[in-house]
Structure 1
Amino acid sequence: MATVLRFLIVIPFAFVLSCLTSAFTILWPYLDLADTPEMHRPFAYIDAAFAFWAQSGQIGSTLLIPWTIFMALTEMFGLNSLVLHLVAGLVGSVAIILVAYGSPPPSVSIQAAILISGTVFALTYWVVAGRRAGAWRPLRRSRRAEPAPQAAIDPDGKDA
């Protein structure tokens, strides 16, 4: 039952939360607009909230298939390394920069925002679901639960 709940609730929740934190990372520089004239408009905060949810949806729709494949591989093989997840986030960010922007790369600040966003996405996913990847597999649990080898005992009751 825990395995079913993991795949139906924990992993999708981790993906959605990762999308939200990644969008927050990208929109963070725009949140300090309280002293600017734009934030005195009546619908400025509604616009900011809409931008946050739209950015989250865009991240989710872009990463759904690649991250699902990555998640399936980590779950099947029990790969729960933090470094592996962070490298996957960085590789995905670089791929987005190369594919979405093409030959003339975007400014360094946009590249940095995408790289940080991908790292935050991967870190959030690892914290919520990735660190327990493959723990549902009985074979993996039985290997970890094996006791340490004991010293051989002679039939006479003496240590060998």
Structure 2
Amino acid sequence: MTLREFGRSITNTVYRQVGRANGHLQSNRSLPVDVLESDTAYLVVFDAPGTDPDDIEVRYLSGSVKIRIERYREFRDRYDVRFPGRGLQLEGEADLPADAVVDPDAGAARLTEHGTLRIEIPKDETLAEDDETDTERAVADHDHAAHAESIEPGEVTVDD
């Protein structure tokens, strides 16, 4: 083995280790998220570049929007992966305000061509109009019923 080959071998090993560490860090860190509110809905925005709609699972669980992304790395002809730094399994979570009353069944998730995942969850106007006692009971019932509401993979649409 020549000195040049030895140096190249060390460089490749360092790149692989740094890339693995970076990918591991991404996989264990929650995705950045913004939560916005209008008069009629909440909008939860995640950055998910390099993702296809079929790779995304969106769930609403007890006042929290949770996503899981399983990305795939494309293979390129005549190229080797030198620095595999992108996490392939990513997760994110966003809590809605404690007083949020929403209808997760009417929620919709859209992925833009630039990799921004936008999840819109309408406010539940029927519960907001009830008196306080009925609202507390309805929120508890609705929260229990919505505990496992989800937008399954393939139900995420793509905006052009």
For CA contacts below 8 A with separation 6 or more, give which structure has more relative contact order: 1
Q: TM-score, normalised by structure 2?
A: 0.26
Higher helix proportion (structure 1 or 2): 1
TM-score by length of 1: 0.26
Q: Which has the higher strand share?
A: 2
